Structure 1
Amino acid sequence: MSQIKRFEINTAGRDFAVGDIHGHFTQLQSALDATEFDPAVDRLFSVGDLVDRGPECRDVLAWLDKPWFNAVRGNHDDYVVRFDTCDAENWIYNGGSWFAGMNRDEQEEFRVQFAELPFAIEVETAGGLVGIVHAECGRTTWAQFRAELLEPIHSRQEQKNMRNTAMWSRKRIDAMDESGIPDLRAMIVGHEVVSEATWLGNVAYIDTGGHRGGHFTLLNLQTLECIPPVNPKNYWDLEERA
């Protein structure tokens, strides 16, 4: 498994990023259809949290098999990887019952596939490098983040902490920190549900509640423009944040 996966510039089509999917792949496909997404030349990058809570979690393996679909590992995806050691009660409470109902061989198939998900993706664009993580870049620069993710300076525990920050942290958005990541054109994240795509400096939060009755936002990585949301609702006050 690569800690970070890199993609060169797409010279043939468009690149999009999408927020947390959480087992709502039919709705995601509808959003792609509305953009006239062309799988022959276009690419889709997911900020993670592919499963839990939604009705189509088992469809995720078919999506991971699509050559144009790529995802980072979110905290819910990490539950799948750690299913033998995670807090199962907490996971089920947060939408993991679909996994608990499978037999051991099926669970292992999902674990193997999800263990291949990187913690970060970087995509080259004409305007510069775009970074994608589920929740947070754990350092002030992308270069430092990627270096410590790949080669922990002090210990493996620090590397684990960096991974957990990438999947779980809400420090930036809780503080409304607009300092940004200076060595990236943009960083794209999910994890925190917002009523509409929100920029803090050059960090874009694009989980607009497609899995909670909201809508999927697609962000064009070439232009950094979002597909306009339709009738956005306020999802800031939802108690469920895992």
Structure 2
Amino acid sequence: MQGILRRSAIEVVYFDLGRVIVHFDVDRMCRRMAAVTEVTPDEVRAVLFEQGLQRDYELGRIREDEFFELYCRGTGKRPPRDRLFQAANDIFWLNLANLPIVAQLQAAGFPLGILSNTCETHWRYCYEKYAILQGFRFHALSWRIGAMKPEPAVYRAAADIAATPPDRIFFVDDIAAHVEGARQAGFHAFHYAVDPAGKNQWEAARALADALRGFGIRFNY
């Protein structure tokens, strides 16, 4: 039988974005932003992470214009804005192993969502570049919600966005603490144990497919 057998108690599947749908390389981002800014990668990393600029951006406390101004203030430089954001965004590539799973679920009309700690710029870049993301119905994004995984508020918001009880939601994330937070919020959750470089992505995808089937979601993979 082709497609999904809709006998599952699961009504919505939420996927994390980073390392589940797309891989990314933070070191590459710091190197590329440093080259555009004419500072060192360590200086970029200090501004973004040690000073908390990226966290504020992912929490929606600041928007793109303010991020740029604070970045310039932190580095003491004023790089070309377009080139800086291009450098910050050109760090993603698709997790090819999970695409067949997502495509099968989408083709059957199974409601999917993205639940991610991400910023406005990265989300817009990925959404516009990778057409598969446009098939995700629900977008529970930290910069819109104002909370980050594993905070309970982000899971409550995700359930509200999907208008679905937590115990009818299946969530996939590569970070164990985020999976545990989802479980504490009442979600069914799966730890997608993928290597940061994506070397074991095919094995991890097979484990994900098995987990989905274990909840009664059946598809060809």
TM bin, normalised by shorter chain, reads: 0.3 to 0.5
| Bigger Rg over Cα | 2
* TM-score of the pair, normalised by structure 2: 0.32
Q: Which has the higher helix share?
A: 2
* TM-score of the pair, normalised by structure 1: 0.30
- Which protein, 1 or 2, shows the higher relative CO under an 8 Å CA cutoff with sep ≥ 6? 2
